[in-house]
Amino acid sequence: MLSECLRSVLNQGVPAEQIVVIDNGSRDDSVDLAEREAPAINLIRNDCNAGFARAVNQGLELANSDFVLLLNNDAQLQAGSLRAFAEVFDEIPTVLIAGGQLYYPDGHPQNSVAAIPSLAGELLPKFLQKSRKSWPLHGKSQGSSPVAVESVIGACLAMRRSGLADLGNLDEDYFFFLEETEWCQRARRLGFQVYHVPAAHALHAQGQTAKRFRSAARIEFQRSKLIFFRKTQGRLAYLLVSAVLPAKAVVNALSNSLACMLTLCQSGTQRSRTLGYWRIVLWHILGRPKSWGLPDKCRP
């Protein structure tokens, strides 16, 4: 995937000297392949998994261009995307962060934008939540014009580097999930704009690491959600979400256990899902140990 990602960027005319690859402690030969693909790239090797935020911040330290594109290793930049981003930045000086439209490899659109997490979204069932009919908050473009949104997905995210002085780097307390969401919220609170750019396309395999470690990824997501509410929504919201998340985990674990028993647990997928939810419940019971989650993380 990394080789395909690099080729997609090189094919759009980006010099290898302007490409930064951050290796978060990989255990295969992907980085060696990348160096053979483009020997002039800037390469940072971390001995362990430092997390998405830390890796991006390392890359930002080396970037010296007016604009920076963050591109996940499981994404491929498509023709015309850089021009589409450039036009938005040129036409709207207040845009600090812009996200492209992501597509599955088969061409179907993915969610590319998201609403900022809210207390109502965590506490209320969906049918009682305030309806949000604006398409950008549902993630899939219904038009071709750039549009202001609350936050964008970080798999293909462009930013105006001059704004970093005010915005600051990604918050490294987030190991995986919601770090770019908080970045977008921070940008908007500072008076900048966040835009979705439908004409900037990227193919995205979407979360291959998370798919390999589903329950561990869910733990990381819940941990990030708790950090987000603690840092951005206040103590009361944090305490409420702290109570709701384990309750939801118990409900999911019990309902999946029942479904497993009714089918005599013949489905491997069902068994794995059930065990995964019970693992999340245990994580909450044990006080949410920091060591749980995705593997090979750097130790403090």
Scanning 92-152, the segments in alpha helix (DSSP H) are 119-123
The pLDDT score that the predictor gives to residue 137 is 46
Looking at the fold, whether 35 and 70 belong to one and the same domain comes out as yes
Looking at the fold, whether 202 and 245 belong to one and the same domain comes out as no
Looking at the fold, whether 234 and 91 belong to one and the same domain comes out as no
Average pLDDT over residues 182-200: 97
Number of domains, the chain: 2
Looking at the fold, whether 204 and 268 belong to one and the same domain comes out as no
- pLDDT bracket for residue 177 (50, 70, 90): very high
Separation CA 143–CA 136 (nearest Å): 10
Of 210, 241, 272, the residue that ends a domain is: 210
Is residue 291, in this structure, part of any structural domain at all? no
Structural domain of 14: 2-210
- pLDDT bracket for residue 208 (50, 70, 90): low
Looking at the fold, whether 7 and 84 belong to one and the same domain comes out as yes
The pLDDT score that the predictor gives to residue 133 is 45
Separation CA 123–CA 286 (nearest Å): 23
Is residue 238, in this structure, part of any structural domain at all? yes
Would you state the structure tokens that stand for residue 108, as one six-digit string? Answer: 């179907």
C-alpha dist (Å) from residue 227 to 52, 188, 209, 237, 254: 15, 19, 21, 11, 26
The pLDDT score that the predictor gives to residue 134 is 44
Q: Is residue 1 classed as helix, strand or coil in its secondary structure?
A: coil
Looking at the fold, whether 74 and 138 belong to one and the same domain comes out as yes
Chain-centre distance of CA 79, in angstroms? 23
Average pLDDT over residues 277-288: 97
Looking at the fold, whether 189 and 228 belong to one and the same domain comes out as no
The pLDDT score that the predictor gives to residue 210 is 61
pLDDT more than 90, % of the chain: 79
Tens digits of per-residue pLDDT, 107-164? 999 999 999 999 999 988 776 665 444 444 444 555 689 999 999 999 999 999 999 9
Tens digits of per-residue pLDDT, 70-99? 999 999 999 999 999 999 999 999 999 999
Task: Read off the CATH number of the domain in which 149 is found.
Answer: 3.90.550.10
pLDDT more than 70, % of the chain: 92
The pLDDT score that the predictor gives to residue 130 is 57
Given a contact cutoff of 8 angstroms between Cβ atoms, the answer to whether 48 and 297 are in contact is yes
Chain-centre distance of CA 193, in angstroms? 19
